[in-house]
A and B are shown apart, each in its own frame.
Chain A
Amino acid sequence: MSEIRLKSLAHSYGTSSSGHIDYALREMNHVWEQGGAYALLGPSGCGKSTLLNIISGLLTPSSGEVLFDGKVVNHLSPQDRNIAQVFQFPVIYDSMTVFDNLAFPLRNMKIAEPKVISKVHEIANILELHPVLKKKAHNLTVDEKQKVSMGRGLVRDDVSAILFDEPLTVIDPQLKWKLRRKLKQIHEQFKLTMIYVTHDQLEASTFADKIAVMYGGKIVQFGTPRELFENPKHTFVGYFIGSPGMNLIEVTPCENGVEFDGIKVPLEASHNNLLAELSTKNVKIGIRPEFIHVWDKPVADAFECQVLHIEDLGTYKILTLKLASQTLKARLSEDHILPEKVAFISFPEQWLKLYVDEYLVEERLEEITAGENMAEENDV
């Protein structure tokens, strides 16, 4: 059991054709606390599997350090790191029985056979693998196989963390739900640090206490599912989490707020001040479809827009709206009044987020001041 700390970690698989280094992972600092259930969420190719393989030791990072409980483990092989990893496709030893598969890591560690037997039975119980324990592993169904691969990680007492690399990709939807529950249960029972890689936000939020959203080789936000939903710190988090994703509109600063297509959106005074301090052209406002207020008749401070499309998804409806040249989505509950053709919308201030250079304005400012402080320190 251990805390996993990543210190100035970066990785590159090699230089690109144009000569500069192609980073699969950009320099990052991150801490996975002992006993936490974490998800690493991001689109394909964002570097999440790379990060996972670096933690398990299958890959050596090009720079930076991986620390387990404060000890640098960069040079340690996966065998010596006490890590278990479950892969996207079940990896089983075909020629062995399920029992021997589960016993394999223990026998490799030369653990006494009576202990092996009791440990295997314990894990088989938890994973409900008892009925197939004597079967050859290659005759199992795919979800049983995946359970066996998980079981091989769980039998070891010395495991400090279990890493899951999209383990439910090949599993049927109904079984997915069952296995996810099982994982959660195992986490509660063993209090192991678990890191779960996925591109499915539902999977991430049902499994994990905290989610790290990765984008372009970086962790852009690390927080609870609620934080990610209510306060996305990066436009990508807004877009990627939620269904549909956050509405993002490119704007230009103006007096007391921002404007787009001649429409003025007033902002809080503090935001205006922040905006004034930054000199950048990349400014966006974002609001979740759930938080847009919608009326069917004119209301003070509401913008008039065209209703393009209504999708009825049973418990809620999604409205596609056109405000000037922007297309917006709004999510309405079942019993909400449904505007026809024309709708009037407003953006509640507390849910209206301001993004500068794709980052939430507060974050961006912090980063800049941190940079300045660093520069000052260096001067001294």
Chain B
Amino acid sequence: MNKVENNKAWWLVLPVFILVAFSAVIPLMTVVNYSVQDIFDQNNAYFVGVEWYREILLNTRLQESLLRQFIYSFTVLAIEIPLGIAIALMMPKKGIMASFSLIVVAIPLLIPGNVVGTIWKIFGRADIGLFGWLLNYLGMDYNYAANPIDAWATVVLMDVWHWTPLVALLCYSGLRAIPEVFYQAAAIDRASKWAVFRFIQLPRLRNVLVIGTLLRFMDSFMIYSEPFVLTGGGPGNSTTFLSQTLTKMAIGQFDLGPAAAFSLVYFLIVLLVSWLFFTTINEMAKDK
């Protein structure tokens, strides 16, 4: 059989190529460019090779910030994923209450991050905020501006409040997609409630949970505005996460070279963790 060769078809790939180039590759290349040069002004730029990379990897402030970031992201995931599933399981399946609960659950998602920060900043104050006042009234010495543990708890709580609804909504849609007959079969097989959850609901939520976990990991790993508004990174550096450290470096100190190098490392970390998570999950589903 003669195969017709027509390489003109490659031109059809061009639009995608251009789009990706402008949306991702070219901006990223600018950062790569900055990360290997020391720039004093428009006419004075020197090639420094991997110098900035060495510097940022040895920078203890960044290391601490990275560690903090990982702890934060994992804490947030460890709370939001199970809580989201639990909320989805408790939501009504149909009728007016289903629509009502969907709206109530979705509301936090509609609020911009810096507004969320402001809400909790006021909410957590001991003098005028209901939450802060209540905790103090109950005898707790709660002050997010002075106590690092309180600050952490508030930042985590704020994220849980803001983003658990996303996980809950994803799970809710996943649960609604399970045909009734699975529950009937389980009833006939005398499955306990836990077994129904473990062997029917959870496996069928796998895909939405993968998406949910990835979204929440990436988003929480890049969190900026909420803690910035709430605590400004304090007290001390206790709630200074990576993006805030990076912003300080790039805009505050105008260290464009190290900031660019760090941006790339930051990007690679997010990519690596997401990739590891995704492949592990997929491997687990395969037959041994």
Contact = CB atoms under 8 A, between A and B. Distances in A.
Contacts of B203: 93-95
A56 B188 contact: yes
Given A87-B181, A89-B181, A139-B287, A105 B190 contact: yes
B175 to A, nearest CB: 15
Nearest to A81: B188
A108 B195 contact: yes
Contact of A85 (B182, B185, B192, B204): B185
A77 B190 CA distance: 10
B189 A105 contact: yes
Point out which of A58, A77, A136 has the most chain B C-beta atoms below 10 A from its C-beta. A58
Given A108-B190, A152-B189, A87 B195 contact: no
Interface in A70-89: 77-79, 83-85, 87-89
B184 interface: yes
B187 interface: yes
A88 B179 CA distance: 12
A357 B148 CA distance: 86
Contacts of B32: none
Given A79-B188, A87-B181, A108-B192, A93 B287 contact: no
Nearest to B195: A108
B188 A78 contact: yes
Contacts of A104: 189, 191, 195, 199
Given A91-B182, A135-B287, A85 B199 contact: no
B119 interface: no
A114 B184 CA distance: 28
A265 B44 CA distance: 115
B189 A108 contact: yes
Contacts of A139: 287
Point out which of B179, B184, B188, B285 has the most chain A C-beta atoms below 10 A from its C-beta. B188
A94 B191 CA distance: 15
A83 B192 CA distance: 17
A77 B192 CA distance: 13
Interface string B267-288: 0000000000000000001110
Interface residues of B, number: 20
B178 to A, nearest CB: 11
Nearest to A155: B189
Contacts of B285: 136
Contacts of B185: 85, 87, 91, 149, 152
A79 B199 contact: no
What does DSSP make chain B's interface, helix, strand, loop or mixed? helix
Contact of A58 (B187, B199, B202): B187
A136 B187 CA distance: 22
Point out which of A56, A77, A78, A136 has the most chain B C-beta atoms below 10 A from its C-beta. A78
A109 interface: yes
A85 B200 CA distance: 17
A58 B181 CA distance: 10
Given A78-B187, A91-B182, A136 B287 contact: yes
Contacts of B187: 58, 77-79
Interface in B195-224: 195, 199-200, 202-204
A158 B206 CA distance: 34
Interface in A146-203: 149, 152-153
A94 B204 contact: yes
A91 B285 CA distance: 18
Given A93-B200, A95-B199, A95-B203, A85 B188 contact: yes
Point out which of B182, B189, B203, B285 has the most chain A C-beta atoms below 10 A from its C-beta. B189
Contacts of B189: 104-105, 108, 152
Nearest to B179: A89
A73 to B, nearest CB: 14
Given A78-B184, A91-B182, A149-B185, A108 B191 contact: yes
A149 B188 CA distance: 11
Contact of A109 (B182, B190, B202): B190
A263 B200 CA distance: 65
Nearest to B202: A95
A352 interface: no
B190 A79 contact: yes
A127 to B, nearest CB: 16
Nearest to B200: A93
Interface in B167-191: 179, 181-182, 184-185, 187-191
Interface string A321-334: 00000000000000
A302 interface: no
B184 A58 contact: yes
A109 B185 CA distance: 15
A153 B188 CA distance: 9
B49 to A, nearest CB: 50
A94 B195 CA distance: 13
A267 interface: no
Given A87-B185, A104-B199, A135-B287, 10 more contacts: A83-B188, A84-B188, A85-B184, A87-B184, A93-B199, A93-B200, A95-B202, A104-B195, A105-B189, A108-B191
Q: Which 8 A-B residue pairs are closest in the complex by CB-CB distance? A: A95-B203, A91-B185, A105-B189, A108-B190, A79-B190, A78-B187, A93-B199, A78-B188
28 contacts: A56-B188, A58-B184, A58-B187, A58-B188, A77-B187, A78-B188, A79-B188, A83-B188, A87-B181, A87-B184, A89-B179, A89-B181, A91-B185, A93-B199, A94-B203, A94-B204, A96-B199, A104-B191, A104-B195, A104-B199, A105-B189, A108-B189, A108-B191, A108-B192, A109-B190, A136-B285, A139-B287, A149-B185
